[in-house]
Amino acid sequence: MTAEVEERESMVDYDEQSTKNDEQESKYLSFPLADSLYGIDIRHVKEVVIFSKNMKITQVPHMPGFTKGVINLRGKVIPIIDLRLRFLLDELEYGGRTCFVVVKIEGVTTGLVVDTVAGVVTFKSSDIDPAPELNDSAQSKFIYGIGKTKDEVYILLDTEKLLHQKELEALRKA
């Protein structure tokens, strides 16, 4: 009888451990903007391009103010969105650490301008809190959640919600 109880207890311990070990992990490309850290799910990132002074951003008329224009990236024209402007932050001059994070937003390949790329951060599902319901503003709608590490807090972005339908249509025409 005692051996049977011990066997059941060890099965319960194994099940609890496997549940803890099976916790899903997600990787996010992290980058700072102003005084905050942000992250984009690495599965949505196609590539990271470091800005160079030789890159020419061609302005396109009638685009939203946060759209800097388009660039020719290896023969493909892609729109460039400055995330600082999208998030209503102060604009910075592009320098040697400025990067374009190339993502696809509803089928539109787009470059997101960030100050620099910090690296890749891994979060367990328990380390991600739902997006706070701050208000009904457009800015709060593209926050997927808040990721926490031992020392930092990251605003995790939902790339599919970075642009409204009208903005996407304008980019498709560009």
Domain edges within the chain: 25-173
The sign one gets for the Cα dihedral 144, 146, 149, 154 is positive
Which pair of structure tokens corresponds to residue 161? 């919600």
* Amino acid residing at 80: I
CB of 40 closer than 8 Å to CB of 32: no
State the pLDDT at residue 59: 92
pLDDT for 14: 40
Beta bridge partners of 37: 32, 154
- pTM of the shown model: 0.79
Res 7: pLDDT: 43
Query: Which pLDDT belongs to residue 65?
Result: 87
pLDDT at position 22 is 58
Q: What is the DSSP letter of 76?
A: E
Q: Could you give the CA distance from residue 40 to residue 119 in angstroms, rounded to a whole number? A: 11
Helix (H/G/I), strand (E/B), else coil: 17? helix
For position 160, what pLDDT does the model report? Answer: 83
Top-tier CATH class for 25-173: mainly beta
> Quick one: CA torsion of 164, 44, 67, 170, rounded to 10 degrees?
-50
Query: Which residue type occupies 93?
Result: E
- Positions in the chain whose pLDDT score sits under 70: 1-22, 134-140, 164-165, 168, 170-174
Report how far residue 48's alpha carbon sits from residue 149's, in angstroms, rounded to the nearest whole number.
23
**pLDDT value at position 43?**
92
- Can you give the pLDDT at residue 141? 76
* Cα radius of gyration (the chain): 21
Residues 6 or more apart in contact with residue 49 via CB below 8 angstroms: 73, 99, 100, 102, 111
For the chain, give the longest Cα–Cα distance.
81
